[in-house]
Amino acid sequence: MDTREGTEAPSGLVDVVVPIAVRHPFTYRLPSALRGDTSTLRGRRVLVPFRTGTVIGYLVGLHSGPFEGETKDVREILDSDPLLGEGEWKIAEWMAAYYVRSLGETLDLFLPSALRGGWKKGSGRRSARASKTPDELRLQPVDIPRELTLEQRAALDRILPYVRGPSFRPVLLHGITGSGKTAVYVELARVAAAEGRGSIVLVPEIGLTSHVARHFLSVFEGRVALLHSRLTPRQRWDEWERIRSGQADIVVGPRSALFAPLARPGLIVVDEEHDGAYKQDDGVTYHGRDVALVIGRERGIPVVLGSATPCLESYAHARSGKYEHIRLARRVGDRPLPEMSVVDMRVHRNPDRALAWLSPQLRVAMEDTLGRGGQVVLFLNRRGFAPVLRCEDCGTGTQCPHCDVAMTFHKVDRLLHCHYCDRRQDPPQVCSKCNGANVALIGAGTQKLEEDLRRLFPASGIARLDTDTAQAKGRRFEILHGLETGALQIAVGTQMITKGHHYPQITLVGVVDADLGLRWPDFRAAERTYQQILQAAGRAGRGEQRGRVIVQTMSPEHHAIRAASAYDEDRFYAQELRFRRQFGYPPYARLALLRIQAADETRGSEAALETARRAGELARRHGVELLGPAPAPLYRLRRFYRWHILLKASGSKDLHALLEELLDARGPRRTGFEVRLDLDPVNML
């Protein structure tokens, strides 16, 4: 399609893309009253009639060539100038092509919800009420020592030429926990700013924005902007405008911050680059780390990937020389890594069944730590009070009626929760199968840990940090502030508590059930377990006292647990890479996951078989391996039955050729099922 710029369109026809899963543009007529300078059409938002309503689309350009059929008129051009420049447009086009989505969907990622919702740029509608400053920006800055360690200085010296150039270069900053990676980021941003360029600093989840933003505020007061989904539409608009106008040139946030309208970016940092939260699971299923690298390449700027436990793909690229590999092997102040010990829970069981989750070793260590004035963090990646409600007579558990998962009991509201569809219901008094009254709560979640700890340590300040507590406005900041000031002595939490936080008085970390992640049917299960143990361990011993970590496990012989507890990353990566090569998984293959789902089980099964048949024919032609269809590990989710088809290829070219043919030639429109594509999947459930 030729979308010529700068000449008058025949009969005023223009092409428009809309943010739906249709990959071709739609042709509209531009009324004479709206015609003018057509050299700046591309990237301007328009209000157009679509189906039975109106939507906001994006002008692609003038329509060329013949057009048959009736056209509808563009209702309104919402912008006097394009909101998206050529750089943003190119990235959106790349994302649409790579992730096999529509250009309208990827363009939508670059704008705040207020603009996607129809506000005109400069409209008074947004100023009807004053915007509140995001909570994170009201925090006190954290002073970072300007005096870097020799390792930090050496790392900085190796990266600075790419910042000053600037020039594109992926850099893996592979630094152990507590080695001072954030200080390196700040210094790099300082140099970029001196060159008149801004920086984007990505964190894996919203809760870490405050921690990272505080470090940058100490250097860039008034110039730090946050972009994330917990801001109100008005706050997000205001931050977006500050960036676009040049008032803020340091952008901090999760993956969506990638699309900030920095006029002259000079650096992108992806902190904790291994974290699966960088992957979008629905809509445009992009990976923030991968898109950051593409933006860096297009803009000609360095991309720094930081982690103590890099993902297998980044580690392999660094070993091969594709990425610059920089190691930070020492903690700031030469503080030693925490002492790590493993407790085999098969033989070290607490005689008190109510405290089965707490080994004698961990309990004694907690008493000793608290007695010395230290703080304790317990990591359990399972929220709620009890994960299973089971009949002790016949063994029947309580399943969610909409999902193939057990419901979790939450004591706060005394209801069973499904953590996938959010269904809530009263716990049964009798077994639904045998009608027995011997129904018991089995296992422990973070709520139960918190309750038991309050009984065991009544004089200690105790708090729980998980999704449930973080949802309460301001609660997360209260908990972290309590750890910072010493008002809290014990913190219990899920992954939220293991990421990025620096509290010098934490000297003991307990990993309560290290086997949880190993039970998932996922080729990344060992990698995630290894990363979680070391990330949790990294919270300990950041002050003057050496830290201690106790890992409780039923699988002490597993290579991920043995490698993590011995800080033996070479052993772990070597073994995992052998496994990935042997069975054809990343980084030695590219994956695409087709998810078929239907409300009717029979219809879904038929659709999965038909999709697999057509994909199989194309796979043989393109040299792609096909596995499936098979029921998804979570077979029923939110009332839908689900099947997976996994495609493996040695490179992305053959895989994309197959997907283009498969998804563009579906034949007549069918109803009753949906096929979703997840390219480079992270969540295999």
Reduced to 3 states, what is the DSSP secondary structure of residue 563?
A: helix
- d(Cα 557, Cα 478) in Å, to the nearest integer? 39
Q: Which of 563, 506, 567, 561 is nearest to 539 (CA)?
A: 506
- CATH code for residues 135-333: 3.40.50.300
Q: Which of 379, 365, 432 is nearest to 401 (CA)?
A: 432
Q: What is the structure's pLDDT at 303?
A: 98
- Per DSSP, which regions of 336-444 are E strands? 339-344, 375-379, 388-391, 408-410, 415-417, 424-425, 439-442
- d(Cα 163, Cα 197) in Å, to the nearest integer? 9
Where are the chain's structural domains? 10-121, 135-333, 335-385+444-579, 590-679
DSSP state of 270: E
Q: What is the structure's pLDDT at 39?
A: 67
Buried b (16+ CB within 10 A) or exposed e, 350-365: eeeeebebbbeebbeb
Distances (CA, A) of 391 to 397, 430, 649: 6, 8, 46
| Residue 470 CB-density burial (10 A; 0-12 exposed, 13-18 middle, 19+ buried) | buried
Up-side HSE of residue 601: CA atoms within 13 Å toward CB?
A: 7
CB 476 within 8 A of CB 446: no
User: Looking at this protein, which amino acid is placed at residue 352?
Assistant: D
Reduced to 3 states, what is the DSSP secondary structure of residue 80?
A: coil
Q: What is the structure's pLDDT at 535?
A: 95
User: Looking at this protein, which amino acid is placed at residue 347?
Assistant: V
Q: Which two tokens stand for residue 673?
A: 């099922």
Q: What is the structure's pLDDT at 129?
A: 42
Walk along the chain (685 residues) in steps of 10 and give the mean pLDDT of each run.
43 89 90 72 90 91 81 90 90 96 95 75 44 55 79 97 97 96 96 97 88 88 90 89 94 96 96 96 95 97 98 97 97 94 84 73 95 95 87 87 91 90 91 86 89 93 89 78 90 87 91 91 95 95 93 96 96 96 96 96 96 96 96 94 97 93 66 92 92
Domain 10-121 of CATH type 3.40.1440.60:
yes
CA angle (519 as vertex; 515, 524 as ends), nearest 5: 95
What are the DSSP calls for 218-266, one per residue?
Answer: TTSTT-EEE--TTS-HHHHHHHHHHHHHTS--EEEESGGGGG---SSEE
CATH topology match: 135-333 vs 335-385+444-579:
yes
Partners of 441 in the β-ladder = 389
- d(Cα 262, Cα 214) in Å, to the nearest integer? 20
- CATH code for residues 590-679: 3.30.70.600
Assigned CATH class of 335-385+444-579? alpha beta
Q: Give Cβ neighbours of residue 115 (< 8 Å, ≥ 6 apart).
A: 45, 83, 121, 237
Q: Which of 659, 660, 641, 643 is nearest to 609 (CA)?
A: 643
